Chains A and B, each alone.
Chain A
Amino acid sequence: MTFDYTMRFDLKVALRYLTSNRLQSALLIGGVAIAVTVFTFNAALINGLAEFQIDRVVGSSSHVTIEPATPRPAVAPAPEGTERLVVSQVALERREQIKQWRSVERIIETLPGVTGVSYNIVGTGLVTRGEQTLPVSLKGVEPARLSAIAPIDQTLVEGEARLGLNDVLIGRKLALDLGIGVGQPIFITSNQGRERTLTVRGLYSTGVDSLDGRLAYVNLDTARVMFDLPEGLTEIELKLADIYAARDIARQLADTTGLEAIAWMDRNQRLREALEGQGNSGNIIKMFTLITIIVGVASALLLTTFRRRPEIGIMRSFGISQRFVLSVFMLQGALIGIIGSLVGCFLGWGFSTLLASAGDGTRRLPVDPSLGQYDVALLLAAAASIAAALWPARAASRIDPVEAISQ
C-alpha cells in the first residue's frame, strides 16, 4: 500500500471517478479510441498510398535530372503599346548538349547524399523487326552505371544485364510487342538517321509501362555514334538518399553549373497534385476525428460535472481549492485521452496490418502500418481531450458550494 501514500491525490480522485462509472468511462475511452483508430488508419492509408505512388515513380527514375540550359531567344523589347509575336525554331543541327560534363561530374562528386549518378545520351529512334516498326526511346548509359537509376539488374527477367557495344536491353513488354527474345537481333534507326543492328542481351520488367514498353538501353559509346555526339551528353541523372532534398540539390546544381536541374517532383506535376489532394482529404478526416473527440469528451465531462455538483460543493466547503477541483476534471480528460488514444493506436495499427497484406504476402490496400503517425495521433488526441476537459473543469471549479450543497 505504499503506492497510496505517494500517488497524487487529484489523480487518485480522478481515477476513482472514472472507475466508479465504468460504463460511461468505457464508452468515452471507446469513442476516443475509435476516433484515433480512424486517424491512424487514415494516416497509414494516405501515407502508404503516397509512398507507393512515389516509390513507383521515384524508385525507377532519377531524383534530379540535369539537362542542357534552354537557350532563350534574344528578342528586342516591343515598342510601347504593341506586342511582339516570337516564333522560334529549334535548330536540329545545333542540338542542345552538355559539353562540359566532366566539370559537372566534379561538382556532383562533392555533393552529399548522392547515391547514384548516370551520364546519359538519350534520343528517339525506330526499332524494326520483320514487318513491325515501333518508336522507342534510346538511352545510352555507361555499362557500369546501368542500374544506377532504375534497378535494371534486379528487374531482369531473362538474359543478362550486359551492355557491349552491339548489345541492347529492352523491356519485356516491348519484346512481346516485337515478338522477339534474348539473343535475337533488332534493327534500330536513330532520329539522326544512323542505323544499327543490335542483339537483345536481356529483358527487364520494372512494372513501369514507360520503361518496359518504350525504352531500350544501349552502351553510351554506341549512343555517341547513333546520335552524333562524340563528346557531349544530353542528360545527367542523380539518385539521392533523401528524395525530399531533391529540390535543394537541383537548385544548388543549377546555380553552380548554369544548366537546368529538375527535381523529381517538378517533373511529375500530376503525381504532386495527386499527393497534395490525398494529403488534404486525409487532413480533413483527421480534423474531424479530433473534433469528435473534443465534442464527445466535453459533453460527457459536463454531464459528470453536473451530476457531481453536490460532491464538488462539499469538497469546497472543507477547503479543497478550486485548482484541485480543476485538476481532478482535467486529469479525467487527460486519462480518457491517453488511454483512448493508446487503444486507438493499437487498433489502427492492427487494422492497417490486417488490410495491408492478404496473408499470402501480397498487398490488399496500399496501407503502410508503419506510417500511421501514432505519435502525432497520441499527442493530438490527448491534447484534444485535455482541451475538451477545460470547460467542464472550469465549470466544476466555479461551482458555488452553498448552492450545490443545498441542492
Chain B
Amino acid sequence: MTSSMNAPLLEVHDIRKIFVDRDYQTPVLKGVNFTLQRGEMVAMLGPSGSGKSTLLSILGTLMRPSSGSFRMLGRELTTLAEKELSDFRNQQIGFIFQYHHLLPDFTALENVMFPHAGRLWRETRAGRERAAMLLERVGLKDRMNYRATRLSGGQKQRVAIARALMNQPALVLADEPTGNLDRENADQAFGLMSEIQRETGTTFLLSTHDRELAERCERRIYIQGGVVVDQPQVVPGRSSLRVIAGDPLSVIDRTQPANAGGDRQRA
C-alpha cells in the first residue's frame, strides 16, 4: 500500500445526477470533477439548492450518481453492490449532518459506539473504550451516560462528530455541520473538527455557508451551475451575484442570506 500512500484519497470523474420525478427531470450535478488529497480539510461552498448535499450523499455512497465514477482509496465505488458499499461506508466514511441525528433512545456513549457495535453485532470493550476516549476528546467525558435527548444542541453535535470518527474513517463528510449552531457552538464544533483533522490526518470535506469557517479550511471548492470549480465565476447580468471587493466568498453570502432556509427564487 506504500505506493498508493501518495495517491489522492478521492478522485471524482464527471459525476452527474439527474433527479427524475415522474416526467419531470432535475439535472443537479452536470459533470463534477475534483480530487481530495489525504489529510486535507476542504470546504465546499455553493448556494442553497446547488447540489452540495447531493454530491456529499453520492460521495458517501448513500446515493448512486446517474453517471460518472469516483475512486476512493484506490477502489472504484460506483460499481460496488449495496452490501459492499455498506461495509465500505462503515469503515472508511464518517457522516456529520446539519441536524445531529443522534439516536434518541441511546446514551451519548452508545451513540458513538453504534457504528462499531453494529458492524460486529456485538459491543466490545475496545469499542467502548474508543467511544469513551472520543467523547473525552470532544469534551463530553461527564456526559457519556446521558441520553442523547438530554444534551444541548452543541453537545449533541459534538457527540455526532465523535460518532463519525468511531471507526477511524479515511474521509469525514460534513453537510453544513454548524448550520444549526450558534456562533459559539459553531466555532467550538469547527475547532474540534480541524484539531482532529490535524491530529489524526483524517480527510474532511464539509459544506458550509459560513464564510468565516470556510476561510479557516485549507482549501475551498465551489459548486456552481452543477459543476465544481476552484473559483466562482461571476454571472453577468445578475446584480446580486456581484463579487464584492474581490472577495469570492461574498458571492455565497449574497445568494444565501443568514436566515434563508431553502431554495429562494432571486428577483
Contacts and interface: CB of A to CB of B under 8 A. Distances in A.
Contacts of A10: 121
Interface of B: 53, 57, 60, 62-63, 82-83, 86-91, 93-95, 97, 101, 103-106, 114-115, 117-125, 128, 163-164, 166-167
Interface of A, helix, strand, loop or mixed by DSSP: helix
A9 B120 contact: yes
Nearest to B117: A9
A8 B103 contact: no
A402 B95 contact: no
Contacts of B91: 319
Nearest to A1: B128
Contact of A320 (B53, B115, B128): B115
A319 B116 CA distance: 9
A315 interface: yes
Interface string A352-384: 000000000000000000000000000000000
Contacts, number: 85
B120 A402 contact: no
A247 to B, nearest CB: 53
* Interface size grouping (class) on chain A: 20 to 34
Interface string A1-38: 00011111110100011001000000000000000000
Given A5-B125, A9-B118, A314 B103 contact: yes
B83 A317 contact: no
Contacts of B125: 5
Contacts of A406: 53
B95 A317 contact: yes
A319 B120 contact: no
Interface string A180-207: 0000000000000000000000000000
Given A317-B62, A320-B86, A9 B121 contact: yes
Nearest to A328: B118
Interface of A: 4-10, 12, 16-17, 20, 310-311, 314-322, 324, 401-402, 405-406
A24 to B, nearest CB: 13
A321 B117 CA distance: 12
Which of A314, A317, A321, A402 has most B Cβ within 10 Å?
Answer: A317
Given A311-B103, A314-B101, A314-B103, A321 B86 contact: yes
Contacts of B166: 318
A406 to B, nearest CB: 8
Nearest to B61: A319
B105 A315 contact: no
A131 B72 CA distance: 114
A316 B82 CA distance: 11
